[in-house]
Structure 1
Amino acid sequence: MKKGITIFTPTYNRAHTLERLYDSLCRQTSKEFEWLIVDDGSDDETAVLVQKWQQEGRLTIRYLYQANAGKSQAHNLGVENAGFELFSCVDSDDYLVDQAVQRILEVWRSLPNAIGIVCLRGKTSTSPLTQWRMEQAYSTLREAYQSNLIQGDTMLVYQTSIIANYQFPSFKNEKFVPETYLYDQLDQVGQLYFLKEILYIGEYQADGYTASMKKIIAENPRGYEAYIQQRLDLDTRIRDLIADTIRYIAIKLVVRDNSLFKEAKYPGLTGILYPLGFLFFKKSYAPYINRKS
């Protein structure tokens, strides 16, 4: 495997935003990377645009196309085809600061023991989006979030040989599995190094993001159920067990397969919390099920 980074970008009908990312990659102070684009069934000018950039020869660009299956399956394909020692996802409407690749590689090559690096995201190179209270250099991702040491999105860089051992599951007629499904598994392998530098530029989600996520979950219940079942296997704090059991009940009510108690990790707790899970279902997911029908 080559030294450097695979910058992976899943994209779906984002020809109008990809050029900003392309320009930022062309400006990188280190060229030790490849840009691996997985087109998730776009029907805009994405393929034509990428072909033009490949012909320009300014970057190493690899383009893969799959029928529309969602970001998680695009991620699986990207990891399978990554050719460099590190792997990082940069979304099609975001971009990197000019020294991002150089800084990641400098830090990575000085680390004695880590499975990857966490970096700040920012609105600009001087205005962070990530709220950062980390004092220690190493942690798992979940521990950092649970302890409120970080809040908001980050840039994640993983060792390719490690992340290649894990994949998102797939479910018929579904296109979404929470990204944390994979990160929770990687947390079991080792710790990340936390680098307090803005290397990734993005934007806040629109005000309607929470509502749209509820709709996405309601339309992709099996993928969310897999995430919650895994969380219940890993939970060690009672408050997490309670919260995830409520979510488990709610998503099982979306699925409607009558296996709620049979497949429950904690049947007794599930029985006690059923009224709260039902209320959560009615508030969060039921409106979107009704719209579908």
Structure 2
Amino acid sequence: MFTIITPTYNRARFIERAFKSICQQDGLIAEWIIVDDGSSDDTKHLVSELSDRASYPVVYIEQANSGKHVALNKAISLANGRYTCILDSDDYLLPNACATMKSYLDSSPGDVIGIVGNCISHQESKLIGTKFPEDEIICSPFEIRDRYSVKGDKKGAMKTGKLKEFRFPEFEGERFLKEELVWNRVGMKYKYIFVNELFTCMDYQSTGLSSTSVGRRIKSIKGTLLFHSEYFELPVSSFAKFKNAINLTRFILHKPTYVELRFKWLFYCLLAFPLGLCFFIKDLITNR
């Protein structure tokens, strides 16, 4: 029923915890696909041991260190389950998460691609960000942030057939891409069901993608500028576009040759330039 996809990089110490949480999902797991993004720790050996204990197929794929987005492209292309859940290697599913997600997805309309719920923090055992203002909302991921002002990481699952329609752009030499770029593209065609259910416990790491995001975005500038450029095409508020323009001008200053400004962005970028410049200077001081 569910394909669980886990991209991982030097997270052997957390893999078994994720494995145990998957095993608790009431026999709803079709397969677990792990993509190892060039780990130098004991990940491969540990996965081999876990595979012998699993009651479902475990697919282990190795790749040179290329980034989570490349790992996701490989895993999604191989997914066979009816639904796909992306579970980071340092996170874990809560009991009955898949059963709850399945109950919503089984009865969802055709224009819905997935289900999204709340997460709790492993460190503090409390809700990450804010709850949804209603117990069930059907809309796009950018609408839930812009119109409903929902904050914090949220996780869920998607219908595999529809998810396979989308790929993460890959740029040579770039190992980071904001996942929201693809989720925004998905949201232009399909909707999600957002529910006040708890699905995932997240264990933030000091060396994880979240904590090192700015530096990675600077190094992967083509993907970064593509994300902020496409954001202007979304049906979001002027204030959301202004905030996006701050980051667009900020990252353009890092690599001005990688973007072609369009006329319809110009107003926002001119308005946002002073703040974008401030963040650019901050980046130079922080990352020097």
TM-score (norm 1): 0.87
Aligned equivalent of 1:68: 65
Aligned equivalent of 2:24: 27
Between 1:113-122 and 1:49-58, the stretch displaced more is 49-58
Distance 1:14 1:208 in 2: 10
Deviations 1:140-163 (A, max 9, x none): 111111134532111121111111
Aligned equivalent of 2:201: 201
Between 1:203-212 and 1:86-95, the stretch displaced more is 203-212
How many residue pairs match? The answer is 285
Distance 1:210 1:182, change over 3 A: closer
Distance 1:217 1:102, change over 3 A: same
Q: Do the aligned partners of 2:156 and 2:199 also contact (CA within 8 Å) in 1?
A: no
Structure 1 residue 108: Cα displacement: 1.5
Q: Do the aligned partners of 1:117 and 1:195 also contact (CA within 8 Å) in 2?
A: yes
Distance 2:94 2:208 in 1: 28
SS of corresponding position for 2:257: coil
Structure 1 residue 237: Cα displacement: 2.1
Identity of aligned residues (%): 27
Distance 1:242 1:197, change over 3 A: closer
Distance 1:286 1:149, change over 3 A: closer
Distance 1:100 1:195 in 2: 12
Q: Do the aligned partners of 1:88 and 1:157 also contact (CA within 8 Å) in 2?
A: yes
Between 1:172-181 and 1:135-144, the stretch displaced more is 135-144
Deviations 1:103-145 (A, max 9, x none): 2222221223421101221236x84324213324312111111
Aligned equivalent of 2:144: 144
Aligned equivalent of 2:284: 286
Moved over 4 A (4+): 204-211, 258-261
Letter in 2 for 1:66: Q
TM-score (norm 2): 0.89
Structure 1 residue 43: Cα displacement: 1.6
Aligned equivalent of 1:98: 95
Aligned equivalent of 1:178: 178
Structure 1 residue 11: Cα displacement: 0.3
Distance 1:276 1:132 in 2: 30
The unaligned stretches of length 5 or more in structure 1 are: none
SS of corresponding position for 1:156: strand
Distance 1:274 1:111 in 2: 43
Letter in 1 for 2:106: R
Structure 1 residue 57: Cα displacement: 4.1
The answer on 1:167 being equivalent to 2:167 is yes
Structure 1 residue 75: Cα displacement: 0.9
The unaligned stretches of length 5 or more in structure 2 are: none
Distance 1:196 1:33, change over 3 A: farther
Q: What RMSD in Å do the two structures reach over aligned CA positions? A: 2.6
Distance 2:272 2:196 in 1: 40
Aligned equivalent of 1:132: 131
| Structure 2 counterparts to residues 251-290 of structure 1, below 5 A | 251-257=251-257, 261=261, 265-283=264-282, 285-287=283-285
Distance 1:51 1:147, change over 3 A: same
Distance 1:211 1:54 in 2: 31
Distance 2:72 2:2 in 1: 15
SS of corresponding position for 2:115: strand
Letter in 1 for 2:175: K
Distance 1:84 1:208, change over 3 A: closer
Deviations 1:77-110 (A, max 9, x none): 1111111121111110111123222222222212
Distance 1:208 1:35 in 2: 22
| Structure 2 counterparts to residues 73-92 of structure 1, below 5 A | 73-92=70-89
Deviations 1:217-264 (A, max 9, x none): 222222111100110122542222222222212111111317554x56
Distance 1:103 1:280 in 2: 41
Distance 1:158 1:252, change over 3 A: same
Letter in 2 for 1:40: D
Aligned equivalent of 2:119: 121
Aligned equivalent of 1:16: 13
